[in-house]
């Protein structure tokens, strides 16, 4: 009976559910019924370790008692009120807490519901800032972004993106973005310097060349600090972000740090910007913000930017006329507060040992002759393969109870930050076995 009900679900899934980033022609339904800890369970009761944290958001796994309780408690008070001209008390507390945690003078928190929107907010605020700051520069309407960048799928964020398959079709409707090849730690070829330093010098020099001639038309540089996840875990050489900050200061261009994927613990520090003591002009956070429980993202900016949006004369209209129905949603804010509670009660202290263990095991995995390149940043570990066997490895892993997000040329793990040692080892054992067997 159950199995025929589940077959029915799979049929409806195939017929009616158009999945994100999924080639639907070959789609094999995987219908998840519940989840607990680092494990997802499908409708037939099969268990899968969530090795990609449900696309990089389930920082604390699933069914976390603290977050469940916080959402239920908030539900008893209020699910939602608008952020237009008012706001939920819990969203006020969250804004204060994020302002306290964020680097430097990032003080002003604008709420949205997903990472793409948080990036669009930064793009729009940057552009509007230049129109109404003390010395307006209305020509500053372009953005600089990097090769293979991914900043989301709304049209503004799509314009920033540099992954042909995702972005090229939309070129006719996109705003102008100047693209510089990302510095990739893998390719030190362009210089005799080791470990990607040459790449960093090349990329910073390319950015400088663009700024020398075009800074007066560029509103902001947008970057994924340290790791471009969607690009295939492309890791920047350390120092690149700080180099960008310097160039932005020198040429008076704003810096947007898109930490949707890497923010809040993923790289081993609370923010990826913390590795290089960088304060961007905009910090975008999403995914881990509510540990993936509810949709919420934020764009945090500085008094310099914020003050340009205050009306100084009665005739001014400097307001940021932008918002989303669910901006500052109270349930999501409660989930975010509980997530931050968890971060502040030991989770960050446990990370270094976990990262070191992942490093040790990943180095062993990388000795396989199938591995072309291996890299790690915090709780992200990736290998490039000599052959396009990534999908086959993902299928092998799925049959053995590990969900990896398959990519042709790449295998990566990005597990919940609170995954226990047994589950982490099981994921790594399955990856190691797959490299031998496939
Ligand atoms: C760096 C980065 N920016 C933005 C986004 C878009 O976030 P969302 O899918 O929540 O719109 C993503 C999503 O993966 C991302 O990795």
Q: What is the per-residue pLDDT across 411-421, written as a single tens digit (0 to 9) for each? A: 999 999 999 99
Residue 71 inside a domain? The answer is no
Last residue of a domain, one of 282, 299, 328: 328
Question: What band does 192 get if pLDDT is binned at 50, 70 and 90?
Answer: very low
Tell me what pLDDT residue 3 has.
86
Same domain, 306 and 362: no
> Strand pairing partners for 256?
222, 282
Residue 68 inside a domain? The answer is no
Q: Of the residues 21, 55, 112, 150, which should be mutated to test ligand 1's pocket, given the most ligand atoms within 8 Å of the CB?
A: 150
Same domain, 301 and 389: no
Residue 75 inside a domain? The answer is no
CB of residue 292 inside a 6 A radius of ligand 1: no
CB of residue 288 inside a 6 A radius of ligand 1: no
Same domain, 43 and 161: no
230 CA → ligand 1 middle, Å: 9
The yes-or-no verdict on residue 190 having pLDDT over 50 is: no
Same domain, 33 and 117: no
The yes-or-no verdict on residue 194 having pLDDT over 70 is: no
The yes-or-no verdict on residue 186 having pLDDT over 90 is: no
CB of residue 152 inside a 6 A radius of ligand 1: yes
CA–CA distance, 243 with 246 (Å, rounded to integer): 5
Residue 337 inside a domain? The answer is no
Percent helix, strand and coil across the chain, each to the nearest 5: 45, 15, 40
Closest ligand 1 atom to residue 286 Cα is 10
Last residue of a domain, one of 328, 363, 394: 328
150 CA → ligand 1 middle, Å: 7
CA–CA distance, 375 with 352 (Å, rounded to integer): 16
Lowest mean pLDDT among 82-86, 262-266, 310-314: 310-314
CB of residue 269 inside a 6 A radius of ligand 1: no
196 CA → ligand 1 middle, Å: 26
CA–CA distance, 304 with 107 (Å, rounded to integer): 10
Helix axes 330-342, 65-77, angle to 10 degrees: 150
Tell me what pLDDT residue 191 has.
43
CB of residue 115 inside a 6 A radius of ligand 1: yes
Q: Is 395 annotated as a binding residue?
A: no
Q: What is the pLDDT of residues 358-407, one digit of tens each?
A: 999 999 999 999 999 999 999 999 999 999 999 999 999 999 999 999 89
Last residue of a domain, one of 273, 301, 328: 328
CB of residue 229 inside a 6 A radius of ligand 1: yes
Q: Which two tokens stand for residue 214?
A: 């075009």
Same domain, 296 and 208: yes
The protein residue with its alpha carbon nearest to ligand 1, atom 7, reads 115
Same domain, 360 and 224: no
201 CA → ligand 1 middle, Å: 27
CATH assignment of the domain containing 309: 3.40.640.10
CATH assignment of the domain containing 374: 3.90.1150.10
312 CA → ligand 1 middle, Å: 35
The protein residue with its alpha carbon nearest to ligand 1, atom 4, reads 151
317 CA → ligand 1 middle, Å: 31
Residue 324 inside a domain? The answer is yes
Tell me what pLDDT residue 92 has.
98
Same domain, 160 and 236: yes
Lowest mean pLDDT among 6-10, 164-168, 271-275: 164-168
Tell me what pLDDT residue 188 has.
53
Please state the domain count of the chain: 2
CB of residue 234 inside a 6 A radius of ligand 1: no
Residues 6 or more apart whose CB falls under 8 angstroms from that of 62 comprise 35, 36, 37, 38, 39, 40, 50, 54
Q: Is 323 annotated as a binding residue?
A: yes
Q: Of the residues 222, 260, 298, which should be mutated to test ligand 1's pocket, given the most ligand atoms within 8 Å of the CB?
A: 260
Give residue 228's domain range: 80-328
Q: Is 5 annotated as a binding residue?
A: no
Residue 334 inside a domain? The answer is no
Tell me what pLDDT residue 196 has.
76
Q: Is 302 annotated as a binding residue?
A: no
CB of residue 378 inside a 6 A radius of ligand 1: no
CB of residue 121 inside a 6 A radius of ligand 1: no
Residue 300 inside a domain? The answer is yes
Same domain, 145 and 229: yes
Q: Which two tokens stand for residue 368?
A: 């396989």
Q: What is the pLDDT of residues 320-365, one digit of tens each?
A: 999 999 999 999 999 999 999 999 999 999 999 999 999 999 999 9
Q: Is 287 annotated as a binding residue?
A: yes
CB of residue 232 inside a 6 A radius of ligand 1: no
- The pLDDT mean for the chain works out to 96
Closest ligand 1 atom to residue 56 Cα is 14
Same domain, 20 and 113: no
Q: What angle do CA 401, 407, 410 make, to 5 degrees?
A: 95
258 CA → ligand 1 middle, Å: 8
Same domain, 248 and 359: no
Distances (CA, A) of 51 to 56, 287, 332, 424: 9, 15, 24, 8
Residue 357 inside a domain? The answer is yes
Same domain, 101 and 173: yes
The protein residue with its alpha carbon nearest to ligand 1, atom 13, reads 152
Same domain, 287 and 231: yes
The yes-or-no verdict on residue 428 having pLDDT over 60 is: yes
Q: Which residues of 361-393 are buried (b: 16+ CB within 10 A; e: fewer)?
A: bbeebbebebbeebbbbbbbbbbbbeeebbebb
Q: What is the dihedral of CA 140, 146, 151, 153, to 10 degrees?
A: 90
CB of residue 116 inside a 6 A radius of ligand 1: yes
Q: Which residues of 318-346 are buried (b: 16+ CB within 10 A; e: fewer)?
A: beeeeebebbbbbbbbbbbbbbbebbeee
Report percent pLDDT > 90 for the chain.
94
């Amino acid at each position: 009976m159950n199995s025929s009900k589940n077959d029915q679900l799979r049929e409806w899934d195939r017929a009616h559910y158009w999945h994100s980033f999924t080639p639907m022609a070959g789609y094999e339904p995987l219908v998840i019924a519940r989840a607990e800890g680092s494990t997802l369970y499908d409708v037939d009761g099969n268990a899968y370790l969530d090795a990609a944290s449900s696309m990089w958001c389930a920082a604390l796994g699933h069914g976390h008692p603290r977050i469940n309780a916080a959402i239920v408690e908030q539900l008893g008070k209020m699910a939602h009120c608008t952020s237009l001209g008012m706001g939920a008390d819990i969203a006020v507390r969250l804004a204060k807490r994020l302002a306290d945690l964020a680097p430097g003078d990032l003080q002003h928190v604008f709420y949205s519901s997903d990472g793409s929107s948080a990036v669009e907010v930064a793009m729009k605020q940057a552009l509007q800032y230049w129109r109404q700051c003390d010395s307006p520069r209305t020509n500053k309407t372009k953005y600089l972004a990097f090769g293979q960048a991914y900043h989301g799928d709304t049209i503004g964020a799509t314009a920033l993106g540099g992954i042909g398959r995702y972005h090229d079709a939309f070129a006719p409707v996109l705003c102008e973005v100047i693209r510089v090849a990302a510095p990739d730690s893998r390719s030190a070829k362009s210089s005799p310097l080791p470990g990607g330093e040459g790449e960093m010098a090349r990329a910073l020099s390319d950015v400088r060349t663009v700024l020398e001639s075009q800074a007066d038309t560029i509103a902001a540089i947008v970057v994924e600090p340290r790791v471009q996840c969607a690009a295939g875990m492309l890791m920047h050489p350390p120092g690149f972000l700080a180099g960008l900050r310097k160039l932005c200061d020198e040429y008076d261009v704003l810096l947007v740090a898109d930490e949707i994927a890497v923010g809040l613990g993923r790289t081993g520090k609370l923010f990826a910007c913390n590795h290089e003591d960088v304060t961007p002009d905009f910090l975008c956070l999403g995914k881990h913000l509510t540990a993936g429980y509810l949709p919420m993202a934020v764009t945090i900016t500085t008094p310099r930017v914020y003050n340009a949006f205050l009306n100084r004369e009665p005739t001014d209209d400097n307001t940021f006329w932008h918002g989303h129905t669910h901006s500052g949603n109270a349930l999501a804010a409660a989930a975010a507060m509980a997530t931050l509670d968890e971060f502040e009660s030991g989770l960050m202290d446990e990370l270094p040992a976990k990262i070191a263990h992942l490093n040790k095991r990943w180095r062993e995995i990388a000795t396989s002759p199938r591995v072309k390149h291996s890299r790690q940043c915090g709780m992200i570990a990736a290998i490039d393969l000599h052959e396009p066997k990534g999908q086959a490895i993902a299928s092998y892993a799925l049959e053995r109870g590990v969900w990896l997000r398959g990519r042709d040329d790449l295998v990566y793990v990005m597990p919940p930050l609170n995954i226990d040692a047994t589950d982490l080892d099981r994921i790594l054992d399955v990856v190691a076995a797959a490299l031998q067997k496939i």
